Copies of this chain bind each other. A is one copy, B any other.
Amino acid sequence: MQKQTDRLSNTFSALADPTRRAILARLASGEASVTELAKPMKMTMPAVTKHLKVLERANLIRRGRHAQWRPCYLVAEPLKEAADWVEQYRIFWEQSLDRLDAYLKVLQAQAGKDPSEPKAKSKNKSKRKKKADGSN
Protein backbone atom coordinates (compact mmCIF):
# COMPACT_ATOMS: atom_id res chain seq x y z
CA MET A 1 0.00 0.00 0.00
CA GLN A 2 3.04 2.21 0.16
CA LYS A 3 6.74 1.72 -0.31
CA GLN A 4 8.28 4.32 1.95
CA THR A 5 11.24 3.14 3.86
CA ASP A 6 12.12 5.76 6.46
CA ARG A 7 10.05 6.11 9.59
CA LEU A 8 9.67 9.85 9.55
CA SER A 9 8.33 9.90 5.99
CA ASN A 10 5.91 7.19 6.92
CA THR A 11 4.69 9.10 9.93
CA PHE A 12 4.30 12.39 8.12
CA SER A 13 2.54 10.85 5.17
CA ALA A 14 0.15 9.04 7.50
CA LEU A 15 -0.61 12.40 9.13
CA ALA A 16 -1.11 14.12 5.80
CA ASP A 17 -4.77 13.19 5.59
CA PRO A 18 -7.64 14.75 7.53
CA THR A 19 -9.50 11.47 7.79
CA ARG A 20 -6.54 9.81 9.43
CA ARG A 21 -5.96 12.72 11.77
CA ALA A 22 -9.63 12.55 12.72
CA ILE A 23 -9.21 8.86 13.46
CA LEU A 24 -6.26 9.60 15.72
CA ALA A 25 -8.23 12.35 17.44
CA ARG A 26 -11.05 9.93 18.04
CA LEU A 27 -8.69 7.29 19.40
CA ALA A 28 -7.25 9.86 21.77
CA SER A 29 -10.37 9.38 23.84
CA GLY A 30 -10.16 5.61 23.83
CA GLU A 31 -10.10 2.59 21.59
CA ALA A 32 -12.78 2.16 18.95
CA SER A 33 -14.00 -0.40 16.45
CA VAL A 34 -13.81 0.15 12.72
CA THR A 35 -17.56 0.64 12.57
CA GLU A 36 -17.44 3.31 15.25
CA LEU A 37 -14.65 5.05 13.43
CA ALA A 38 -16.44 4.85 10.12
CA LYS A 39 -19.78 6.16 11.38
CA PRO A 40 -18.97 9.89 11.36
CA MET A 41 -17.03 9.66 8.08
CA LYS A 42 -18.59 10.04 4.69
CA MET A 43 -16.90 7.05 3.18
CA THR A 44 -17.31 3.29 3.07
CA MET A 45 -15.88 0.80 5.50
CA PRO A 46 -13.21 -0.51 3.13
CA ALA A 47 -11.94 3.02 2.75
CA VAL A 48 -11.65 3.31 6.52
CA THR A 49 -9.94 -0.07 6.67
CA LYS A 50 -7.36 1.24 4.23
CA HIS A 51 -6.72 4.34 6.31
CA LEU A 52 -6.30 2.12 9.34
CA LYS A 53 -3.71 0.07 7.50
CA VAL A 54 -1.77 3.20 6.70
CA LEU A 55 -1.89 4.21 10.36
CA GLU A 56 -0.92 0.72 11.42
CA ARG A 57 2.06 0.65 9.06
CA ALA A 58 3.13 3.96 10.49
CA ASN A 59 2.80 2.41 13.95
CA LEU A 60 0.39 5.13 14.96
CA ILE A 61 -2.26 2.60 15.93
CA ARG A 62 -2.45 -1.05 16.91
CA ARG A 63 -5.35 -3.46 16.80
CA GLY A 64 -6.84 -5.69 19.43
CA ARG A 65 -9.26 -8.55 18.93
CA HIS A 66 -12.58 -9.08 20.71
CA ALA A 67 -14.61 -11.70 18.94
CA GLN A 68 -15.58 -10.13 15.66
CA TRP A 69 -14.36 -6.69 16.69
CA ARG A 70 -10.85 -5.53 15.98
CA PRO A 71 -10.58 -2.41 18.09
CA CYS A 72 -7.98 0.20 17.28
CA TYR A 73 -5.96 2.12 19.80
CA LEU A 74 -3.53 4.95 19.60
CA VAL A 75 0.22 4.51 19.80
CA ALA A 76 1.87 7.89 20.11
CA GLU A 77 5.57 7.05 19.93
CA PRO A 78 5.96 7.91 16.24
CA LEU A 79 4.38 11.27 17.03
CA LYS A 80 7.19 11.89 19.44
CA GLU A 81 9.71 11.40 16.65
CA ALA A 82 7.77 13.75 14.43
CA ALA A 83 7.58 16.30 17.22
CA ASP A 84 11.30 16.03 17.82
CA TRP A 85 12.02 16.62 14.16
CA VAL A 86 9.77 19.64 13.93
CA GLU A 87 11.06 21.04 17.21
CA GLN A 88 14.45 21.62 15.65
CA TYR A 89 12.89 24.39 13.63
CA ARG A 90 11.20 26.03 16.58
CA ILE A 91 13.85 28.69 16.73
CA PHE A 92 12.96 29.71 13.20
CA TRP A 93 9.38 30.55 14.03
CA GLU A 94 10.03 31.84 17.52
CA GLN A 95 13.25 33.69 17.95
CA SER A 96 14.47 37.03 16.63
CA LEU A 97 16.82 37.13 13.69
CA ASP A 98 19.69 38.13 15.93
CA ARG A 99 19.17 35.08 18.06
CA LEU A 100 18.91 33.07 14.90
CA ASP A 101 22.28 34.31 13.77
CA ALA A 102 23.74 33.34 17.10
CA TYR A 103 22.20 29.91 16.77
CA LEU A 104 23.62 29.45 13.31
CA LYS A 105 27.06 30.39 14.56
CA VAL A 106 26.76 27.64 17.12
CA LEU A 107 25.76 25.16 14.45
CA GLN A 108 28.70 26.10 12.29
CA ALA A 109 31.01 25.88 15.25
CA GLN A 110 29.98 22.30 15.98
CA ALA A 111 30.51 21.43 12.32
CA GLY A 112 28.24 18.79 10.78
CA LYS A 113 27.48 15.60 12.61
CA ASP A 114 23.99 14.53 11.54
CA PRO A 115 24.43 13.91 7.81
CA SER A 116 21.28 15.26 6.25
CA GLU A 117 18.00 15.16 8.09
CA PRO A 118 17.77 18.18 10.38
CA LYS A 119 20.17 20.66 11.99
CA ALA A 120 22.86 22.32 9.97
CA LYS A 121 25.71 21.13 7.86
CA SER A 122 29.41 21.77 8.07
CA LYS A 123 30.18 22.65 4.50
CA ASN A 124 27.77 25.58 4.28
CA LYS A 125 29.89 28.48 5.33
CA SER A 126 27.58 30.90 7.10
CA LYS A 127 25.13 31.73 4.34
CA ARG A 128 22.30 33.95 5.73
CA LYS A 129 22.04 37.27 3.95
CA LYS A 130 18.95 39.37 4.38
CA LYS A 131 16.24 37.05 3.12
CA ALA A 132 13.82 38.52 0.58
CA ASP A 133 16.38 40.82 -0.91
CA GLY A 134 14.78 40.80 -4.34
CA SER A 135 11.08 40.32 -4.71
CA ASN A 136 8.42 38.52 -2.74
Residues of A within 8 A of B (CB): 4, 6, 8-10, 12-13, 15-18, 21-22, 24-26, 28-32, 40, 62-66, 73-74, 76-77, 79-80, 82-83, 85-90, 92-94, 104, 107-108, 116-121, 124, 126-129, 131-136
Oligomeric state, in number of copies?
2
Known: A12-B15, A22-B117. A31 touches B129 (CB 8 A): yes
Q: Chain B residues with Cβ under 8 A from A15's Cβ?
A: 8, 12, 16
Q: Chain B residues with Cβ under 8 A from A40's Cβ?
A: 116
In whole angstroms, what is the CA distance A73 to B128 when docked?
9
5 contacts between A and B (CB under 8 A): A22-B117, A24-B89, A73-B132, A79-B92, A86-B86
- In the complex the two chains form, is A25's CB within 8 Å of B64's CB? no
Q: How far is the CB of A45 from chain B (nearest CB, A)?
A: 19
